[in-house]
Amino acid sequence: MLFLSREIYLDNSATTRPCRQAVEAANVMMLECWGNPSSTHAKGSQAAQKLKEARRIIASTLSAAPEEIFFTSGGTEANNIAVFGGAAKNRRAGRRIVTSAIEHSSVMDSVAELEKQGFEVIRLTPDAQGHIDPAAVASAVNADTILVTMMMVNNEIGSILPVEAAVKAARRNAPKAIVHCDCVQAFGKLPISVRRLGADMVTVSAHKIASPKGVGALYKRKGLTVPPLTHGGHQEDSFRPGTEAAPLIAAFGAAAAIACDRAGLNARYQAVASLRDYTVRKLREIDGIVINSPEDALPYIVNFSTCRVKAETMLNFLSERGIYVSGGSACAKGEPSHVIRALNLPRNAADSAIRVSFCGDNTFADIDALTAAVREGTDTLAHFA
């Protein structure tokens, strides 16, 4: 029986271990610059200056202006602001919202709520590999479309969605439509320029790039007016009021400066791509394993099915051996994945789907341990009937 002397963390799409620089930045804010950034005295100004620097860093990583960056409590809140705000902004111009059937739950549940309010929601379905046809996007976006919301990278299988096609379709067929892109899984892994992308709003999150949980940001194009979800203060230009989480924001800036450095980003991408290829090769040596992620997926995510052992059973088996992976999005908390269902996989493949997600610290030895444990698990655990 395989038991390891150290932990192997392969669930980086759920959250990442905070880097030293992010922790130090948060500590400085809590121990030295702990004033309220809205206070006009020196202590408050000191904290406000730190927030200004973090905002500048996040803006620079996205090729945006600092005044276009608004801090939130994370990706879920930013997505909600974008979806509900975008619909409210344009509700008199039409009723159609175009999205995909494999969005993060914070988008899926938001558009479902808008659907209850009378909006028409078009959910584009992927093929068996998680691809969304750009032609289907263009066909779905008509003159009645007011909002297009599409993630850049799927958080469960790593497929890359045709966001640029969505932007072009919106500009051509529905010039007044707002385009929002959830870039949470792409941020720090792919170079992102909001100017080149052309989206009106973009969501990013801190805890996917080695920063503490509880903070994210929404890029909102300069000149775009979107009603806020909350009221009661002038922070974040009254768009997201409430005292800012200054330690988390400072940590976010410190982590983003490292994660989005172009040279480091490219080197890390190449290293992870090699690790992904090795992982897929080793998994395919195990009888019955099916790879659910497409070949052109973001290499940071590999989704596979054992087809013989339920995902929850395998997760517990691996966890007991100090190997941490996921059965899908952490936000689903064990519920069946809508992403896997959308792929229309056979029942045994859908019920046994496992997500492995990498960071730059993972090694080939980690993969050797993972695949050895998966092999042991498929050989010893109860099989499907």
Tell whether the model's pLDDT for residue 337 goes beyond 90. no
Q: Beta strands of the chain (E only): which ranges?
A: 8-9, 69-72, 96-100, 120-124, 145-149, 178-182, 201-205, 216-220, 290-291, 301-305, 323-324, 353-357
Among the ranges given (49-58, 198-207, 375-384), the one the predictor scored with the smallest mean pLDDT: 375-384
Q: What's the whole-number average pLDDT of the chain?
A: 94
Compute the average pLDDT of residues 229-244.
90
Predicted local confidence at residue 6, as pLDDT: 81
What is this structure's pTM? 0.95
Q: Beta strands of 34-142 (E only): which ranges?
A: 69-72, 96-100, 120-124
Residues with Cβ within 8 Å of 201's Cβ and at least 6 positions away in sequence, in order, are 82, 86, 178, 179, 180, 181, 218, 219, 220, 221, 224, 226
Predicted local confidence at residue 296, as pLDDT: 97
- pLDDT band at residue 373 under the 50/70/90 scheme: very high
Predicted local confidence at residue 385, as pLDDT: 37
- pLDDT band at residue 233 under the 50/70/90 scheme: confident
Task: List, for residues 124-166, the tens digit of each pLDDT value.
Answer: 999 988 999 999 999 999 999 999 999 999 999 999 999 999 9
Active site residue 183: no
Q: Which of 181, 307, 331, 359 is catalytic?
A: 331
Compute the average pLDDT of residues 258-277.
96
Q: Residue 172, Cβ neighbours under 10 Å: how many?
A: 10
Residues 53 and 66: their CA atoms lie apart, in Å, by 9
| Residue closest to 343 by CA, chosen among 378, 276, 267, 291 | 291
Provide the CA 268 distance to its chain's centre, in angstroms: 18
